Amino acid sequence: MDFYLINTANNETFRFPVNPEEMQVQSEKDIETVEIYQLGEIDFPQGEKRTNISFSSFLPLQYDTYCQYTNVPKPVEAINKLDAWRKAGKPLRLLITDTPINTLVIISTLSWSTKGGEVGDIYFDIAFRSWQDVKVRTVAISKAPAKKRPDTKPVPKIYVVKSGDSLWKIAKTQLGSGSKWTAIYNIPENKKTIGSNPNRIYPGQRLVMPA
């Protein structure tokens, strides 16, 4: 029996150098219990909860006969790798030969310690939780075209110059006071139409009246 942990992102493989004496596997059904009048509690299976797998072992500083292979990793480097994978929270493949376990997991807990008289060896407890990819279906929602805001800008009033008109006369009839002729003349469009001499206007010219 061999214990492997494979990083699915880059296929980096860690083989545990010493097999644990025992391993715990916990599988549980998710059950919703409902209290029904005169029937009592009724259980409704809702599916499987995540499987939890845990074991304890140690990382020896040097090879010994109980090791699974000779070129054992340095304990500090090995425990740092496992802890980095735990922190990353990315799925790993846990493969335990001669067992049904070949599944995606995350490292849920990792604790370690050292013992006096065993310099360099690191003892650890590790627990895994089965991983399931959640595929989120995205639905494209077409946006309704934005409603065009009504143009509330007032439409300018246009006055067509008649024979005998002057800006004073136009201001008096259109604005109520001849003294307001400058308000007509100072509109940029009107200055462009009239020119530099406000006293020279001609029949047919279209002048914008002040709002």
Q: What is the CATH number of the domain that holds 38?
A: 2.40.30
DSSP reduced 3-state for 156: coil
Residue 17 lies in a domain: yes
pLDDT tens for the chain, 211 residues long, are 899 999 988 999 999 999 999 999 888 765 565 666 666 676 666 666 788 999 999 999 999 999 999 999 999 999 999 999 999 989 999 999 999 899 999 999 999 999 988 889 999 999 999 987 767 677 777 777 777 777 677 778 889 989 888 988 988 988 888 888 898 889 888 888 888 888 888 888 899 888 7
Residue 71 lies in a domain: yes
Instruction: From 75, 85, 101, 88, select the one nearest 16 (Cα to Cα).
Output: 75
Find residue 44's DSSP bridge partners: 32
Same domain, 35 and 115: yes
| CB contact set of 77 (below 8 Å; sequence gap of 6+) | none
Same domain, 45 and 97: yes
Q: Which residue has the tokens 């370690």?
A: 112
| CB contact set of 201 (below 8 Å; sequence gap of 6+) | 161, 165, 166, 167, 194, 207
Domain count, the chain: 2
Same domain, 11 and 69: yes
In angstroms, the Cα distances linking 8 to 2, 18, 90, 129, 203 are 18, 22, 8, 15, 87
Same domain, 7 and 57: yes
CA dist 16 and 2 (Å) reads: 8
Residue 36 lies in a domain: yes
Instruction: From 171, 165, 173, select the one nearest 183 (Cα to Cα).
Output: 171
Q: Give the model's pLDDT for residue 48.
A: 67
Residue 147 lies in a domain: no
Same domain, 91 and 194: no
Same domain, 123 and 172: no
Q: Give the model's pLDDT for residue 84.
A: 95
Q: Give the model's pLDDT for residue 149.
A: 77
**Helix (H), strand (E) at residue 81:** helix 75-88
Q: What is the pLDDT of residues 6-20, one digit of tens each?
A: 998 899 999 999 999
Same domain, 13 and 78: yes
Residue 135 lies in a domain: no
Q: Give the model's pLDDT for residue 199.
A: 87
What's this model's pTM, rounded to 2 decimal places?
Answer: 0.55
Q: What is the pLDDT of residues 41-55, one digit of tens each?
A: 766 666 667 889 999
Residue 188 lies in a domain: yes
Domain of 14, in residue numbers: 3-130
Same domain, 111 and 9: yes
Same domain, 100 and 204: no
Strands 92-96 and 12-15: unpaired
